[in-house]
Amino acid sequence: MRILSPAKINLHLRVGPLAADGFHPLLSWMCTVGLHDTIDLEPASGDEIKLSCDRPGVPLDATNLIVRAGKMLDPLRAAEVNLKKQIPMGGGLGGGSSNAAFALIGFNRMWNLNLLQNRLSQIAAQLGSDVTFFLHGPSSICAGRGEHVRPIDKPRAKFAVLIFPKLSMSTPAVYRRFDEMKLGSMDAMTSEPAWNAWTEMSAKELLEVLINDLEAPAFSICPDLGEMRSRLQKTIGRIIRMSGSGSTLFTLTDNRNEAERAVKEIRQTGFNADAFELAADLGGS
């Protein structure tokens, strides 16, 4: 069984103050993008989930979210799993969370467990903040730690241009700096934007209203990233935002031509960028 496991971007990400459970409340509009890892699943005998991966540095033991997902679904089943990575790690694109969610869906089908969405969502929430989103996608409002997911219309903007800096950010470190900077207000959690109106905005209108509360702490940890954003905004004449806790930056366009022009202009300055369909439908087979 082959499953495509897409990346996400946070179009909008508001973060509240640190809560007693050690996490921060979130309010985020998340969309999938057409950048995928590929997960191949095969049944096996025994009770081991054997994982292989083409990218060095990916943990293959019981700490991997794919293995944890399988063990939480049924500790007595076995599988052989091959993971081909395209999504950068430490990039704020939710690659590990996506792999966990699509492995859950794949194991559930391959082992004929027939668990319902509710049960999968409970397991997903224990695996990580972004995992539940990928069970719903492709365009959803996520609240709580991220585990309360409410699908909404796809944005009118059709393409995301992703800019991949050659550095990875640590999510816990960005949240720690967020706390040190005494950022986060509950107002941002409770006063929700008019999401339906936002889904109808052009790319340029939407970029004007989008916020990512993790940009300030990420740019404080890594000033080069903030400078790169400012410079590239001038080069391409469009607003650029950061996804999640970074390091990936993005802009949005209404059509493929504009996206390809932005990619070309960014590459001419020596940075790595590519255009992807925004809120692409989720892949499986």
Catalytic residues: 8, 130
- Of 102, 107, 134, 175, the residue at the interface with ligand C5P (CB under 6 A) is 175
- Of 129, 139, 140, 253, the residue at the interface with ligand C5P (CB under 6 A) is 129
* Vertex 94: Cα angle to 250 and 24 (nearest 5): 95
Closest-CB residue for ligand C5P?
Answer: 129
The H-or-E segment that residue 8 falls in is: strand 2-15
Q: Which residues contact 246 (CB under 8 A, 6 or more apart)?
A: 91, 92, 169, 174, 214, 215, 218, 222, 225
Number of Cβ atoms within 10 Å of the Cβ of 34: 19
Beta strands in 68-210 (DSSP E): 79-84, 139-144, 148-151, 159-164
Describe the chain by its helix, strand, coil percentages, rounded to 5. 35, 25, 40
Q: Show the site string, 9-48: x = touches ligand C5P by CB under 6 A, - = not.
A: --------------xx-x----------------------
As measured in angstroms, the least distance from the Cβ of 25 to ligand C5P is 7
Tell me the site size for ligand C5P, rule CB under 6 A.
11
Q: Show the site string, 209-238: x = touches ligand C5P by CB under 6 A, - = not.
A: ------------------------------
Q: Which is nearer to ligand C5P, 14 or 77 (CB)?
A: 14
From the list 27-35, 168-176, 195-203, 205-213, the region that binds ligand C5P by CB under 6 A is 168-176
Residue 171 interacts with ligand C5P (CB under 6 A)?
yes
3-state secondary structure of 250: strand
Chain positions contacting ligand C5P, by CB under 6 A: 23-24, 26, 128-130, 145-146, 171-172, 175
